[in-house]
Amino acid sequence: MVSDALPTGFGFVLTLIWYLITVAYAMESFFSWFFNVYIVTNMRIIDIDFYNLIYKQVSDTNLGNVQDLTYNMGGVVRTIFNYGDVFIQTAAEVTEFEFLAVPHPDKVVKVIEDQLGGKKGKI
């Protein structure tokens, strides 16, 4: 048998490595989900993208720079659970903000449009 040819503790080491890799992947996925933050205020849009433990990217823009808002909900699971992606085109240095896998993307777009309507009324 194959197990007779392997050293005694080799199976334990392989099992331990498998569980360590699985836990590391699960933690990295959780951190990526938990620390990706999208903030919409009455003055700015802030997008914080968490890539891994040592790198994150923070982008922000004024609401006056927003040019286009779109959202999509593709697939059966996204439609059933009502979540999707929101894309914001701007005239700023960062030209596109992507809010990925947000719940109720239609409401997010409506909130941003309401904020834009308030800003355009003041100008």
- What is the pLDDT, as a whole number, of residue 22? 98
Is there a domain that residue 54 lies in?
A: no
* pLDDT, tens digit, 9 for 90 and up, residues 42-78: 899 999 998 888 899 999 999 989 999 999 999 999 9
Is there a domain that residue 76 lies in?
A: yes
Cα gap 49→28, rounded to integer Å: 13
How many domains does one find in the chain?
A: 1
* pLDDT, tens digit, 9 for 90 and up, residues 99-122: 998 999 999 999 999 988 865 544
- What is the pLDDT, as a whole number, of residue 84? 94
- What is the pLDDT, as a whole number, of residue 122? 44
**How does DSSP classify residue 3?**
H
Own/partner long-range contacts of 78-86 (Cβ < 8 Å, ≥24 apart): 86/38
Structural domain containing residue 104: 62-122
Is there a domain that residue 68 lies in?
A: yes
Is there a domain that residue 109 lies in?
A: yes
- What is the pLDDT, as a whole number, of residue 119? 57
* pLDDT, tens digit, 9 for 90 and up, residues 76-102: 999 999 999 999 999 888 788 999 989
Is there a domain that residue 81 lies in?
A: yes
Is there a domain that residue 3 lies in?
A: no
Is there a domain that residue 53 lies in?
A: no
* pLDDT, tens digit, 9 for 90 and up, residues 13-25: 999 999 999 999 9
Name residue 66's beta-bridge partners: 90
- What is the pLDDT, as a whole number, of residue 54? 86
Burial 109-122 (b: 16+ CB within 10 A, else e): beebeebeeeeeee
Cα gap 68→56, rounded to integer Å: 25
- What is the pLDDT, as a whole number, of residue 23? 97
Cα gap 62→92, rounded to integer Å: 8
Cα gap 63→69, rounded to integer Å: 12
Is there a domain that residue 38 lies in?
A: no
Q: Which two tokens stand for residue 97?
A: 């903000």
